[in-house]
Amino acid sequence: MTSPLIITAFALIPMIVALIGGGLASVYTFSKKVMSGLQHFVAGIVVGAVATELLPKILGHGSPVSISVGFILGAAVMLGVHELAHFLAKKGSTSKLPTGLIIGSALDLFLDGLLIGVSFLAGMSGGGLIAISLSFCAFFLVLALSSRLTKSELHKKHQYALIILTTILLPIGALVGSTIISHMPAQVMTETLAFGVAALLFLGIEELIAEAHKVHDNFWISGSFFLGFLVIIIFQNFS
């Protein structure tokens, strides 16, 4: 099993990518169509990574009951966090400082870190691929948070401090997740991977695709999803 410290080091990749997203939001605004196309592309990468790295590790390796328990639990947790994040964001929407959005984003990033820790059950290559995939999810999340913070009356240095503090939760989540997993009995590994499959599918489809479809798409925007999936297939073919 991969060392928790190595997994935490991998989680620094999405943290750095997220910080880049936060920095970009303060100096540049992407058009809605470009954002939608990128979100479709990243969703394809996430779903492709799940299909090629995690699913093969659970199919035929556990009972239908154990797989179902892990999968349902993963979906329930993601739906719960999603509802909580929306509630917090809505509650703080009238405030000058988007406290709800900050807390919701922090929860999402911590959970992303946990998922990176879980994904390394599929091996080094699988965990690394999931970490890279989640880098793009973190990019969009922090991009949105930074865009909202720039509209607040918060001083620039305080905005940057908040972005850094929230993104640090990625490697912290990975460390917590990998440490817990390293002490778990082998009998529940299938359930844990099934949990990760459901959670990552939620991120790719219910978050990225749902957000992307707020913009009227076209052939090229929708096709970006399949391009992202194809990139994973080609990558796996050469790895």
The predicted model scores a pTM of 0.87
Q: pLDDT tens digits for 47-58? A: 999 999 899 888
Assign 125 a pLDDT band (cuts: 50, 70, 90).
Answer: confident
Q: pLDDT tens digits for 136-165? A: 999 989 998 888 888 777 788 888 899 999
Cβ contact 160:19 at 8 Å: no
Of the chain, the percentage scoring pLDDT greater than 70 comes to 96
Assign 110 a pLDDT band (cuts: 50, 70, 90).
Answer: very high
In the chain, which ranges are continuous DSSP H helix?
A: 4-25, 32-49, 55-58, 64-91, 99-119, 124-150, 156-167, 169-182, 189-201, 210-212, 219-238
Assign 177 a pLDDT band (cuts: 50, 70, 90).
Answer: confident
Burial 173-202 (b: 16+ CB within 10 A, else e): bbbbbbeebeeeeeeebbbbbbbbbbbbbb
Q: What is the pLDDT of residue 95?
A: 59
Average pLDDT over residues 126-137: 90
Is residue 149 exposed (0-12), middle (13-18) or buried (19+ Cβ within 10 Å)?
buried
Length reported for the chain: 239
Q: Which of 187-191, 211-215, 218-222, 223-227 has the lowest mean pLDDT?
A: 187-191
Q: What is the pLDDT of residue 61?
A: 77
Assign 168 a pLDDT band (cuts: 50, 70, 90).
Answer: very high
CB atoms within 10 A of CB 117: 29
Considering the chain, what is the average pLDDT of its residues? Answer: 88
* Pairwise CA distance, residues 129 & 181, whole Å: 19
Assign 42 a pLDDT band (cuts: 50, 70, 90).
Answer: very high
